[in-house]
Structure 1
Amino acid sequence: MQGLMLKLLNVDAAGERALRVVAYFDQLAANNPDLDSVVRATALIADCIAGVELRDRGLVVRFSPEGVEPAGTSAQSERAALLVEGEDRGSAWLERSGDERELDEFIVERFALTVVAVLARERRVSEVDLPAGFSDPALAQLLVNDRVAEAERSRAARLLGLPGSGMIQLVALETGPDDRLGDLSAQLHERWNRAFYVAELSRHLALLIVVGSEPLTWDVRLSGRAASGPVVDILDAPRSWSIARETLRFAGAGAVWPRTLSSDDVGVLRLLGQIDRAAALAHPDVERVALLAAAPNGDEAVTILDHYLHSESLRSAARAANFHHSSVQSRITRIGTKLGIDLKSAAGRERAALALLLWRLCQNP
């Protein structure tokens, strides 16, 4: 192949040089190359950096003519879209400093066609039958274990079927009592139209590995709860999983927290989840909330308090809790007395809200 490239450089006629480019990529495709091989071969014939981006995988592959991954960001001079069965999967490009060369546009075109042939030959993860999308829990736990070496995590990623490099997002999914994980996976697959893997870690907890650089949007109703960590590099999976687990504690935690959350939704409040559980439960404010919840009609009292603390007015709190406003007013007075907090003051309401949230987080260790 390198010999063919050298011949190409010594041919004068533009038409003949173009035919040699076609022959070069045809010979490359005939050897069933992988994506890295195609990018390396293109960088060699173009004598500049070549790159490919697959947006659905969050994957970018770049190589220099020397066959090494270049440092720095890409400066694309010629680009072509990667259309697989009419779907735009990403792009291929050359990075040349200075003026473009005569055949750059043609090389990029053949480069893109060869990449498309590689993608068409692969069985796309999102097209795998759903049952086959379930992954070995042991491998998934190895991938998210921050105490194992990167080499072991990399091996686990390959065995799970993840691309060699790219971006992923970890999701902690807690199923409801009547949920079937297969049905939930089908629902999420239809909603997101994204490639993801599922590993059932326990009876009610599953780990989802979502492939791609675009953060998930939670527009799905679940009877259980779910939380997503940040988008990270594959080898940084433990961080995304740890944050997803911390975020899950907030999901459905009272009136203001939805049952599906992104870690960005929680923000700085995630630090509350790092407070020692025993220390939180031992604080007098949290103790009084726990006593309020354990008393007769305690669930009702906690619900009224929650709506009162997070509503614009007493009347809106009463509507949200489905009580008459005068009844809510008298109950809030009694609840404030039991808590030893002045719920009419802004500082008192903030203190009560924090105690209530800490108590709820302790219920979701």
Structure 2
Amino acid sequence: MRELIERLDVADNGAAGALRVIDHFDHLVEAGAATTPLVRAAAALAGCPAGFHDASRTLTRRFASNGQALPDDADHIWPRLSVPGRPGSSVWLERVGDAGPLDPLVLERYVRALQSSTTGMVGSTTATIRIACDADTSSADRRDAVAKLGLSWPITVVATALGVRLSSRSTPIGNHVITLFTGLPTFAAGVRAGTARADALPDLPLGVGRALVALRVTDRVDGPGASIVLHHHLSALASIAERFTPEQAAAVEDVRRIEALLPGHPWVVDIVQAVLDRSSLRQAASVLHVHHSTLQERLAWLANHIGYALTHPGGRQRAAVAVLLWRVAQAA
């Protein structure tokens, strides 16, 4: 093969280039190459960055044409090819401008090589859940994953902290555990979770993001607020929570005031939450296990330190946003 490539370099450079692509990937397959060398080879042969995504492992690999590893780039979406036999896997070339003459061949041999490689292939429930929830999974692979999991619509996506598994359909994704349920689940006592509803295939990846937003604004399980939050119940508040990073939320003046008071007065957030969630101060006092007069005294003290009163309509709205953003800030 290599002697033929050398002869064709003189007679037909295009044919030589094509044979070089085929030969290179064939050698990698024969050597049992793992995923990383295959991505590097695609980038080098195409002369542009190449990428690989495997939803079953929440894995993305990108390499420049010189072999340098590149970080994941979620801001740019390149045309992708699915890898048959590897559900949730896709490849791409990051070519700016017109496609190169060998791009189709590079992609074809790249996909074939990945099909031949069994490195990193996962056939577990964990992999299936990740495929179902991954935004880059093809519709066909997501549909197959949902069927394999035995789920039917509507599906509830539940986000919890790492280590909290709610069922056999729970798996770690990123820094949280994601669980999928058919219909509305019933939660045991002591669970802290965010949930979102998915009615169709495209809703599953969106549901993961929404469930994580809901989780960010939950209260602790023994707090006066909700430890299980449904995204659709947040409504407009969800839009606020989604638009702030923890760092941005922590920088808001009203959030900084709350945070500054907590070291000496750890009851501040609980009082605000209880007053916001109850229709009367007596109900709030009961939830907080304090006397009605004690609650009134603390509210008066709090108003002097945060600059507004929770018992006034404008103050309630301001406090609701402040506590929401404080919870977002704590989710860092």
TM-score, length of structure 2 as denominator length: 0.54
- 2:261 matched residue in structure 1: 292
Aligned with 2:191 (options 224, 231, 235) = 224
Q: Any conservation in 1 of the 2:157–2:180 contact (CA below 8 Å)?
A: yes
Q: Cα gap change, 1:168/1:353 in structure 2, threshold over 3 Å: closer, same or farther?
A: closer
- 2:209 matched residue in structure 1: 242
CA distance in 2, matches of 1:266, 1:325: 29
CA distance in 1, matches of 2:173, 2:203: 23
- What RMSD, in angstroms, separates the aligned Cα atoms of the two structures? 3.1
- Tell me whether 1:142 sits opposite 2:125 in the alignment: no
Q: Cα gap change, 1:280/1:151 in structure 2, threshold over 3 Å: closer, same or farther?
A: same
Deviation at 1:216, TM superposition (A): 0.7
Q: Any conservation in 2 of the 1:308–1:317 contact (CA below 8 Å)?
A: yes
Question: Unaligned regions of 5+ residues in structure 2, if any?
Answer: 1-122
CA distance in 2, matches of 1:343, 1:289: 13
CA distance in 1, matches of 2:297, 2:249: 29
CA distance in 2, matches of 1:305, 1:154: 44
CA distance in 2, matches of 1:176, 1:225: 11
Q: Cα gap change, 1:344/1:235 in structure 2, threshold over 3 Å: closer, same or farther?
A: closer
CA distance in 1, matches of 2:282, 2:192: 29
Alignment-mate amino acid for residue 169 of structure 2 = V
Aligned with 2:169 (options 198, 208, 220) = 198
CA distance in 2, matches of 1:169, 1:327: 45
CA distance in 2, matches of 1:310, 1:235: 34
SS at match of 2:235: helix
SS at match of 2:267: helix
SS at match of 1:233: coil
- 1:264 matched residue in structure 2: 232
Write the deviation string for residues 306-333 of structure 1: whole angstroms up to 9, x where unpaired. 2233333333322221112222222211
TM-score, length of structure 1 as denominator length: 0.49
Deviation at 1:347, TM superposition (A): 0.6
CA distance in 1, matches of 2:296, 2:126: 51
CA distance in 2, matches of 1:244, 1:268: 15
SS at match of 2:181: strand
Q: Any conservation in 1 of the 2:161–2:176 contact (CA below 8 Å)?
A: yes
CA distance in 1, matches of 2:124, 2:224: 34
Q: Any conservation in 1 of the 2:219–2:226 contact (CA below 8 Å)?
A: yes
SS at match of 1:299: coil
- 1:188 matched residue in structure 2: none
Deviation at 1:162, TM superposition (A): 4.3
Deviation at 1:230, TM superposition (A): 1.5
Q: How many residues matched?
A: 208
- 2:178 matched residue in structure 1: 207
Q: How does 1:59-70 map to 2 (within 5 A)?
A: none
Alignment-mate amino acid for residue 318 of structure 2 = R
Q: Any conservation in 2 of the 1:135–1:198 contact (CA below 8 Å)?
A: no
Deviation at 1:360, TM superposition (A): 1.3
- 2:120 matched residue in structure 1: none
- 1:282 matched residue in structure 2: 251
Percent of aligned pairs with the same amino acid: 24
Q: Any conservation in 2 of the 1:250–1:257 contact (CA below 8 Å)?
A: no
Write the deviation string for residues 181-229 of structure 1: whole angstroms up to 9, x where unpaired. 3xx43xxxxxxxxxxx513206984322224xxx4154x3332322332
Q: How does 1:1-365 map to 2 (within 5 A)?
A: 135-157=124-146, 160-162=148-150, 167-174=153-160, 181=165, 184-185=166-167, 198-201=169-172, 205-211=176-182, 215-216=183-184, 218=186, 220-234=187-201, 236-252=203-219, 257-277=225-245, 278-293=247-262, 295-296=263-264, 298-365=265-332
CA distance in 2, matches of 1:176, 1:140: 16
Alignment-mate amino acid for residue 242 of structure 2 = Q
Q: Cα gap change, 1:292/1:199 in structure 2, threshold over 3 Å: closer, same or farther?
A: same
SS at match of 2:170: strand
Question: Unaligned regions of 5+ residues in structure 1, if any?
Answer: 1-133, 186-196
Write the deviation string for residues 260-289 of structure 1: whole angstroms up to 9, x where unpaired. 333332223211221222322211111101
Alignment-mate amino acid for residue 199 of structure 1 = S
Alignment-mate amino acid for residue 286 of structure 1 = V
Alignment-mate amino acid for residue 138 of structure 1 = A
CA distance in 2, matches of 1:330, 1:359: 23
CA distance in 1, matches of 2:162, 2:137: 32
SS at match of 1:347: helix
Q: Cα gap change, 1:266/1:338 in structure 2, threshold over 3 Å: closer, same or farther?
A: same
Q: Cα gap change, 1:286/1:244 in structure 2, threshold over 3 Å: closer, same or farther?
A: same
Q: Any conservation in 2 of the 1:252–1:259 contact (CA below 8 Å)?
A: yes
CA distance in 2, matches of 1:329, 1:261: 28
SS at match of 1:207: strand
- 1:89 matched residue in structure 2: none
